[in-house]
Structure 1
Amino acid sequence: MVSTHFWNGVSLCLRLFEPLFKVVQLVDGDKKPSMGFLYGELQKARNEIKKALKNNETHYRPIIQIINGKAHDRLDGPSHLTAYFLNPYYFFKDQSIQHDLFVIDAMFTCVEKFFPDDFKVQNRVINIKMSNTRKKKGGFGRHLVEIGCVENDDNYDPASWWSTYGNGVPNFQRIVIKILSLTTSSSGCERNWSTFEGIHTKKRNRIDTTRLNNLVYVQFNARIMNKKKREKKKKVDILLASEVSMTQGWIVEGVDAEIELGSGMDGEQL
């Protein structure tokens, strides 16, 4: 406990996890819709992690790979990337966003979803209205427009910004406001966290990481399967805190079983 090396390690861990914790807070916040900020703040978290590790690629690469793996197909879909591009807080700060192939392709995908088979409208939105926005033509060239999105504080809302300054591009404005008004939630993660809490208690803190993850995987998916079965009979959310783990008695040797090992989640024999 008096080791300087130990506390330096703790300090480094905090610097690495703080940016990710801020992203989780943003996702589950209720002050304003968070879709327009999720991808941008995740990018910011990656950069802060690299900086905390002094931009040493050997050190930060494994961490960034884990983040990218978890975010893939979850936090980098067309809606996330389009919201990132259309949020003026990011766009006015970093003009290179408009040259990002993946971001622009996501924008095309969203426009096609909003106006399916209507190529005239798609052409007008992409080639005229969006071009005016990117080049800051018309009302978007006013200094007041840029001042209105320079600070990401409690008063700033990208959807409201577009409601105020996007009247010159009504079709495009409608798309943007719908996307930037989307909310996000960490409820899916929270259910998984509750499963971890049920397994990794003080009695079982000797479980190695691999076994813990495998047990959580088995238990959580078993609950999902059980939920589908129960939904056929009646609409009941079975993922309740009162329902104890079906694996509690045999996870760690020598721990007293808290439920019968032979009982399944519905009281059936395993």
Structure 2
Amino acid sequence: MDSTDLFDNQNIREVRRGRKESHVWDHYFKEPLGSGHYTARCHYCNQNWSRGKPEILKSHLALYCKDVPLYIKTEYMEMLAVGTTSTMNRKQKTDSDSSAELTADRKDKIDQALIRFFICCGIPFSTVGHPYFIDFVQSLCFAYGPPKRTTLSTTFLNHETAIILNKIKEELKYEKNLTLAVDGWCDPLGRSIYAFIIITPSANLQKDIIQTLTEEGGLKTSVKTRWSTAWTCCDSIIRLENNLKNVLETQTEIFINAIAIKNLLRNRQFFQDVEQLHTILAPAKKAIQAVEANSSNMASIFLQLIQMAVEIKKISNYFDPNFKKNCINIFNKRWAQFDTDTYLVAFFLHPRYRDKKFQDSTFRQMALTAMKIWSKFGSDKRSCKILLSQLRSYGDNEPPYDMEYTDEYDTPELWWSTCRQPNNYIQKLALKLFAITPHQAACEQAFSVLNWMIGKRRTRLDIDRLQSMAQMHSYYITNAKSELKFSSSDLSENKLETALQEITTAMINNDDIFIDDDDIVLDDESIDLNDDDANTNDLIMENIMNLDSFNEQNDDNSNSNISDQQPDESINYEDSNIDFEAIFDEESETD
């Protein structure tokens, strides 16, 4: 027997003495290190480990590998979710005062509560090994031995993330008409992170699925103008006009080094401009409030844009013609950033607003957009023609679209769900559009949490771990009422939500924990009012809406009796020169 045979026999004996090799190794290339250990390289993404551990390799396939086939990812995610953390090799305490050791199920529940506590409260993982933390935990339950830091931040974190993703998968299995909000953020190390927020039409479900890209450069945070805050500022200036003037007259020493402010306060035109701006920003403030409401939709946002345009159009040129011109230029610039065609379709399909004063060519523009959207759902030319006919009938208030719409009781979704007819394509289109949540507030909230998690003391968090932490934090804060085992029993859902929001906000803003306000770069957008393309005296919105005749009722309780409305004679609903071939050719080129 030569030396090779001896080596082979020794390996066989080692395998027989050891555990059965995990099937996870079927997805990895490996090289022996001795003592039954191996290096590992993923078959799908080529990521390497100097020493492969089955639990880490399973987590990679379930959560982090971007190239693994979906069926394999699903298999290992389910395997990871149903696993147990109590099998970890951790010493458990026993003493004469303990009536019994902890059961495996009890250990799992404590482990789960521990990782939730660390993630949702933003506690550094290193705390788990602090002697005073261990002393605190064992004063509550002496038989429980806290895990090591690496176990907490890998095995426990991955196990809980898999549980969450499986819950989300089950909850979304039978949902339809979902909104996918997408936004980007860049961490202090320049790594780009994208947040994908799935929102159901009822706004009862908001799950943050954080995906990552680590290309050089990354994305910069973009902070839009805070219209609501600007309105509040204008409102306070108007209310305090007399007080400011009194201070100017009685305490002149305050303004010795503030000549510009002194001149503004003495200029009556300044206060007139503030009053005009206050009036213009009121619809923007309402739009923000509408977005924050559960019932917000694209039509309600579009309505506030129209109201803002109406107020700008009313501004007089008598005192300062440049003020109105600048307002128009800013509005047009912002208008160009909207997907106005899609908003227009949603506005037209809202039964309360279809009789508003559209320009002659607006119906054709809206119908073309509606059919382009419809064609993306895999529809054929015949269904597009039927949809066009239904749009005309709807615009003319013909049955079954002549039902009353009452603001106090109806929603667009409820109204459309009762409009029944064969081949009801317009209903399907309307319900899809009204299911869209027209904002990315959830993305911004996710990035605030990420900023807090990866502050100055935790910049070494790798991107995969940060992804799991963000997923877990978002899920458990959103579903706190159902996930908390004890503390939520005495609180109403609203009180619990308020408490969590206050605590989260306090932690995010606490620069003694993780973050300094100076670390946040606000990349505010500026508008070049000297840009020739933006320099105009006309509102772009007037191309589709007759603002002079737009008189939307401001009474929130007003009713809209659709059956009594007559179609606007200026709208040509019979425009049939629609090139269906061009629509489908355009969509096929896009695909």
TM-score of the aligned structures, taking structure 1 as reference length: 0.61
Task: Give the distance between the partners of 1:85 and 1:46, measured in 2 at CA.
Answer: 18
1:38 maps to 2:301 = yes
After TM superposition, the structure 1 stretch with the greater mean CA deviation from structure 2, 6-15 or 91-100, is 91-100
Specify which of 269, 282, 287 is matched with residue 18 of structure 1.
282
Q: Is the Cα–Cα contact under 8 Å of residues 98 and 104 in structure 1 kept in the other structure?
A: no
Q: Quote the sequence identity (%).
A: 19
Structure with larger Rg: 2
Task: Give the distance between the partners of 1:98 and 1:181, measured in 2 at CA.
Answer: 27
Task: Give the distance between the partners of 2:509 and 2:355, measured in 1 at CA.
Answer: 46
Specify which of 425, 428, 435 is matched with residue 174 of structure 1.
428
The 3 A distance-change label for structure 1 pair 64 and 28 is farther
How is 1:105-116 mapped onto 2 (pairs within 5 angstroms)? 105-114=368-377, 116=378
Task: Give the distance between the partners of 2:414 and 2:345, measured in 1 at CA.
Answer: 17
Partner SS for 2:400: helix
Match of 1:60?
324
Match of 1:119?
381
Pairwise CA distance, 1:118: 1.8
Pairwise CA distance, 1:176: 0.8
The 3 A distance-change label for structure 1 pair 25 and 148 is same
Any idea what the Cα deviations from partners look like across 1:159-191, whole Å, max 9, x if unmatched? 222123x21362221221121132223527966
Q: Is the Cα–Cα contact under 8 Å of residues 33 and 181 in structure 1 kept in the other structure?
A: no
Pairwise CA distance, 1:107: 1.4
Q: Is the Cα–Cα contact under 8 Å of residues 98 and 134 in structure 1 kept in the other structure?
A: no
Greater helix proportion? 1
Task: Give the distance between the partners of 1:230 and 1:119, measured in 2 at CA.
Answer: 50
Specify which of 368, 372, 394 is matched with residue 133 of structure 1.
394
Q: Is the Cα–Cα contact under 8 Å of residues 371 and 387 in structure 2 kept in the other structure?
A: no
Task: Give the distance between the partners of 2:442 and 2:324, measured in 1 at CA.
Answer: 27
Q: Is the Cα–Cα contact under 8 Å of residues 284 and 308 in structure 2 kept in the other structure?
A: yes
Greater strand proportion? 2
Specify which of 348, 356, 369 is matched with residue 93 of structure 1.
356
The 3 A distance-change label for structure 1 pair 130 and 16 is closer
The 3 A distance-change label for structure 1 pair 79 and 87 is same
Pairwise CA distance, 1:58: 4.7
Specify which of 132, 148, 153 is matched with residue 405 of structure 2.
148
Partner SS for 1:139: coil
Match of 1:69?
333
Match of 1:234?
466
How is 1:204-215 mapped onto 2 (pairs within 5 angstroms)? none
Task: Give the distance between the partners of 2:328 and 2:442, measured in 1 at CA.
Answer: 22
Pairwise CA distance, 1:117: 5.1
**Stretches of structure 1 lacking an aligned partner (at least 5 in a row):** 195-218, 249-270
Q: Is the Cα–Cα contact under 8 Å of residues 39 and 76 in structure 1 kept in the other structure?
A: no
The 3 A distance-change label for structure 1 pair 158 and 230 is farther
Task: Give the distance between the partners of 1:173 and 1:80, measured in 2 at CA.
Answer: 17
Counterpart of 1:13, as a letter, is: L
The 3 A distance-change label for structure 1 pair 97 and 189 is farther
Task: Give the distance between the partners of 2:442 and 2:413, measured in 1 at CA.
Answer: 26
1:103 maps to 2:375 = no
The 3 A distance-change label for structure 1 pair 188 and 53 is farther
Specify which of 401, 411, 432 is matched with residue 157 of structure 1.
411
**Stretches of structure 2 lacking an aligned partner (at least 5 in a row):** 1-243, 246-265, 474-504, 521-591
Any idea what the Cα deviations from partners look like across 1:241-264, whole Å, max 9, x if unmatched? 44224559xxxxxxxxxxxxxxxx
Q: Is the Cα–Cα contact under 8 Å of residues 36 and 158 in structure 1 kept in the other structure?
A: no
Task: Give the distance between the partners of 2:350 and 2:359, measured in 1 at CA.
Answer: 14
Partner SS for 1:105: helix
1:244 maps to 2:476 = no
Task: Give the distance between the partners of 1:99 and 1:64, measured in 2 at CA.
Answer: 21
